[in-house]
Amino acid sequence: MSMIAGLIEYLRGNEKKSASVAKERLQIILAHERAGRGTATPDYLPALQEELMAVIAKYIHIDRDSFKVQLEKHDQYDVLELNITLPDKINVRPSN
């Protein structure tokens, strides 16, 4: 807000009260902090990735780098995303 605009606001007497600024700021930051609380990276994610990789490696040769597990948070639901890039030539292991 420019100084003149601020002055006009002030003279009109409708400059924002500091308490309502405080309330607004708190509502925004807390909504953000509550959303991220404890759910950003669940503890089980690394173990899940290891086990999934072990299962797939039984059948297909893959690089560690070509395997990604991600958890995305949305409002009403979470998405567990597995992204596996298969090699150009699939090297199938002989089954017993």
Partner 1 sequence: MAKVIVVTSGKGGVGKTTTSASFSSGLAMRGNKTVVIDFDVGLRNLDLIMGCERRVVYDIINAINGDVSLNQALIKDKNCDNLYILPASQTRDKEALSLEGVGRILDELKESFDFIVCDSPAGIESGAFMAMYFADEALVVTNPEVSSVRDSDRILGILAAKSKRAVEGREPVKEHLLVTRYAPKRVNTGAMLSVVDIQEILRIPLLGVIPESESVLQASNSGTPVIHLEKSDVAEAYRDVVGRFMGEDLPMRFIDEKAGFFKRLMGGN
In the complex, least distance from residue 52 CB atom to partner 1, rounded to whole angstroms: 26
Name which position in 26, 40, 60, 84 contacts partner 1 (CB under 8 A).
Answer: 26
For residue 15, CA distances in Å to 1, 21, 51, 60 come to 11, 11, 59, 66
> Does residue 20 belong to the site contacting partner 1 (CB under 8 A)?
yes
Q: How far, in Å, CA of 13 to CA of 7, rounded?
A: 10
**For partner 1, the closer CB: 38 or 94:** 38
Q: Which of 90, 84, 88 is nearest to 60 (CA)?
A: 90
DSSP per-residue string spanning 40-60: SS-TTHHHHHHHHHHHHHTTB
Contacts (CB under 8 A) with partner 1, residues 28-67:
29-30, 33-34, 37-38
> Does residue 25 belong to the site contacting partner 1 (CB under 8 A)?
yes
Q: Point out which residues bind partner 1 (CB under 8 A).
A: 17-20, 22-23, 25-27, 29-30, 33-34, 37-38
